[in-house]
Structure 1
């Protein structure tokens, strides 16, 4: 079987298994959260703007930009397979409040992309790589010198790993300007796509967030597949947070207590490893795991 056919089968399976784009909590959980936090102030999401960029092949890339009022750094964000940037605004807004502009392409595999039917799964993979390279070029041209962090959910996490040095069938794609990675429920091991020893060169700081129910039926049957990058990358500034009962949609359906921990951990990670904030690094390294959560460091 050719790499392309193998790759197509794997990506098609991802499309079937990971195609849930609605990251909102289930109605009963949402009601409970609303009751528990009715008096708490809610963050006001930044109003995003849309930027149209051009890919090397002439394809137009729709990019959503959440501009931080007091910009200190920039996050290039890759959504999950068939998802869309807007589905993650609950968390992205908190990063923007923290001074990090978010730049998020709409990939061609999104159910919201008008040309989705024109691309097969291997095409979707290769255009994602191009989308993110163009987005980083846009960041460097419009915000020269600002630190860049790669972040993503599910398939988008794999794209973030690739930008920071992970080796896949696409070959080396590392951007030395990517200072750190935030991986939210990774895409798993992806045999045939992620090569043996893929994470040996992933030597930037990494924050990986998953749960012990982070499964993809028919594809990821063991949640531990989401920790491979953490375990297989060089030691130093690697943090793994595991939520008991957390599933593949944890970022969208986390209750307020878990979501607060995610916000605090990611913001301290951003400050520590994009801005060199020693106090934030200390808080991240001392972060306590509440009941139902485990934190590993290496």
Structure 2
């Protein structure tokens, strides 16, 4: 079992935010928060390909139980929406995903009002973003990453100053290392991290071998390697793309189920987010020390 808390969590779904131009459908959002407490920081969680606002319960439940308001939008690629591949929006979904996150930040007042008892308890100045796989690339743009065009020219700066920190879980690496098939079908997967200046924790598995890349698992460490500090990198031993099962408690896509690994991710991401959003470094330093001193540690961590 992953780590749990006795804190009562209140959730509301679906909360609808009006569609942005070109999206075609209102944005469905799930909001989860502890039933008590004030000045609660916010984490916007972007799902991986095909998932939805109902995914990533091991993370969303844990963060909410430990004092965060967790906001989970359902992006257009979600299987719950059933949009066909030939839909004219498909090539634009990567960009609409980013707009979804911006729409969430713009609509925090409405989202706060939708959860019974939450109004007036949210700190809109303490906001982080987190994402897994495609969701990690999506949130990286709000941290300052840019998408390069075919000539290597950086695209629009989509960073958002409201975002104070990020957590990138199994984020794809540099586009120069895509397979020919991936380069043809996913031209937006060509990020530059040189301008990703917002603090972030990057989490990668050392057995995460992507069929989209010609490189090995170190591809997923690129967001750390090629971005300026302050950044931290948690490399998990034996972890594949689901990092032990973060995408759900009972998810068929999990190929490397490991509750202890998920519990480690829960502990470290929670400590990191608290430190990044509240300036309370004691918990983060304690978590790092515990990992370093654990003789049977499930990963390693370094920072710059």
Instruction: Tell me the TM-score range normalised by the shorter chain.
Output: 0.7 to 0.9
Query: Given the superposition, is the C-alpha separation of residues 285 and 60 from structure 1 closer, same or farther in structure 2, using an over 3 Å criterion?
Result: same
Query: How many residues end up aligned between the 2 structures?
Result: 259
The aligned residue for residue 152 of structure 2 is none
Range that drifts further, 46-55 or 136-145: 136-145
Query: Given the superposition, is the C-alpha separation of residues 45 and 115 from structure 1 closer, same or farther in structure 2, using an over 3 Å criterion?
Result: farther
The aligned residue for residue 175 of structure 1 is 160
Of 13, 19, 25 in structure 2, the residue corresponding to residue 59 of structure 1 is 25
The aligned residue for residue 27 of structure 1 is none
> 2:173·2:223 contact (CA, 8 Å) conserved in 1?
no
> Please, what is the CA RMSD of the aligned residues?
2.5
After TM superposition, the runs of 4+ consecutive aligned structure 1 residues lying more than 4 A away are: 40-46, 140-144
The aligned residue for residue 104 of structure 2 is 135
The aligned residue for residue 7 of structure 1 is none
Of 259, 262, 275 in structure 2, the residue corresponding to residue 259 of structure 1 is 262
Higher helix residue share = 1
**Deviations 1:148-200, CA, capped at 9 Å, x for gaps:** 1010000100111101111114521010010001011112323453557x212
> 2:193·2:226 contact (CA, 8 Å) conserved in 1?
yes
Please, which runs of 5 or more residues in structure 2 have no aligned partner?
113-121, 149-154, 177-186, 246-253
Query: Given the superposition, is the C-alpha separation of residues 293 and 131 from structure 1 closer, same or farther in structure 2, using an over 3 Å criterion?
Result: same
Q: Secondary structure at the match of 1:176?
A: coil
Q: Secondary structure at the match of 2:286?
A: helix
1:297 paired with 2:296, answer no
Whole-angstrom distance in 1 between the partners of 2:222 and 2:106? 29
Q: Secondary structure at the match of 1:133?
A: helix
The aligned residue for residue 203 of structure 1 is 197
Of 68, 74, 81 in structure 1, the residue corresponding to residue 49 of structure 2 is 81
**Deviations 1:257-294, CA, capped at 9 Å, x for gaps:** 22221111011111100111132243245342443412
Whole-angstrom distance in 1 between the partners of 2:109 and 2:143? 16
Q: Secondary structure at the match of 2:34?
A: coil
The aligned residue for residue 115 of structure 2 is none
> 2:46·2:130 contact (CA, 8 Å) conserved in 1?
yes
The aligned residue for residue 225 of structure 1 is 219
Please, which runs of 5 or more residues in structure 1 have no aligned partner?
1-32
The aligned residue for residue 134 of structure 2 is 155
1:193 paired with 2:188, answer yes
Whole-angstrom distance in 2 between the partners of 1:221 and 1:75? 31
CA shift for structure 1 position 250: 1.3
Whole-angstrom distance in 1 between the partners of 2:290 and 2:224? 18
CA shift for structure 1 position 115: 3.7
Q: TM-score, normalised by structure 2?
A: 0.76
Whole-angstrom distance in 2 between the partners of 1:194 and 1:243? 23
Q: Secondary structure at the match of 1:296?
A: strand
